[in-house]
C-alpha cells in the first residue's frame, strides 16, 4: 500500500486518483502506524513552506517521515513536499528549517527576470538520472509546474532532472530511497503517470 501523508497541506485527492488510475492501492492517511507500515510513502504539498512545516510538527509527523526514510521505505515528495525534504527555505523573507534529509535550499524566483511568478504551466525537463523513477523518460519531456520558489540542491549527484525558467533550477531529485519532483506528476499526463508507476513499482 502507498501512504499519502495527510497533514492538511496538499493536493491529496488528485494524487490518490492518479495511483488508482494506474492500478496501485494508495490511501490518504495521517495515522502514524499506517504510514510506517506502508510499502511506499508520498509527501505532497502546496502553499507556504513554513505553514507546511508547522502542520507536520503539530501532528508529530516529522519523526514519522524521518523513520520512513531511515528504514529505507521509498519516499516521494511532490511540489512543496519535495522542497520540505531539504535544509531550509527563505520563503517569507526568513530562513525556515526543513526536514534536512537532503542538502540544499529553496529560494524565490527573481522578480526582475521579466517572467511571471509563480512559474505555472508546462515546461520541459533535462534528465540527469536515467534510472529509478526517471527510467525511460525522454529528454525534453514536458511536465506541469506551479511554484514561486525553486530548489538548489547542494549535491549535484542528487539531481534527477533540471528545468529552465529564466534560470536553471533543480526540478527533481533522487538519493537512495528519497525522491522528489517539483512538478506535479499527477497533473503531467503520460509522463507524470509513468514516473508514478515507476515509483509505485519500486
186 included as an active-site residue: yes
Going by C-alpha positions, the residue among 109, 108, 89, 91 that lies closest to residue 99 is 89
Q: Which of 119, 147, 174, 186 is catalytic?
A: 186
Cβ-Cβ contacts under 8 Å for 156 (sequence gap 6 or more): none
Going by C-alpha positions, the residue among 180, 145, 179, 178 that lies closest to residue 164 is 145
184 included as an active-site residue: yes
Q: Which of 91, 147, 174, 184 is catalytic?
A: 184
- Cα 168 to Cα 166: distance, rounded to the nearest angstrom: 7
Q: Which of 66, 79, 91, 155 is catalytic?
A: 79
The length of the chain, given as a count of residues:
202
Planar angle of CA 75, 47, 83, nearest 5 degrees: 40
174 included as an active-site residue: no
- Cα 199 to Cα 122: distance, rounded to the nearest angstrom: 22
Active site residues: 79, 184, 186
Amino acid at each position: 500500500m502507498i501512504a499519502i501523508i495527510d497533514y492538511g497541506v496538499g493536493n491529496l485527492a488528485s494524487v490518490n486518483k492518479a495511483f488508482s488510475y494506474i492500478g496501485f492501492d494508495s490511501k490518504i492517511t495521517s495515522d502514524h502506524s499506517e504510514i510506517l507500515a506502508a510499502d511506499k510513502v508520498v509527501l505532497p504539498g502546496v502553499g507556504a513552506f513554513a505553514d507546511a512545516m508547522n502542520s507536520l510538527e503539530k501532528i508529530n509527523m516529522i519523526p514519522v517521515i524521518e523513520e520512513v526514510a531511515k528504514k529505507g521505505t521509498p519516499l516521494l515528495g511532490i511540489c512543496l513536499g519535495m522542497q520540505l525534504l531539504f535544509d531550509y527555505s527563505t520563503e517569507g523573507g526568513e530562513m525556515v528549517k526543513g526536514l534536512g534529509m537532503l542538502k540544499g535550499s529553496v529560494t524565490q524566483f527573481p522578480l526582475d527576470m521579466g517572467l511571471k511568478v509563480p512559474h505555472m504551466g508546462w515546461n520541459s525537463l533535462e534528465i540527469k538520472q536515467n534510472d529509478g523513477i526517471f527510467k525511460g523518460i525522454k529528454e525534453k519531456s514536458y511536465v506541469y509546474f506551479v511554484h514561486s520558489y525553486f530548489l538548489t540542491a547542494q549535491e549535484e549527484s542528487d539531481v534527477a532532472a533540471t528545468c529552465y525558467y529564466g534560470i536553471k533550477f533543480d526540478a527533481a531529485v533522487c538519493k537512495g530511497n528519497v525522491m522528489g519532483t517539483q512538478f506535479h506528476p499527477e497533473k503531467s499526463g503520460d509522463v507524470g503517470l509513468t514516473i508514478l508507476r515507476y515509483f509505485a513499482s519500486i
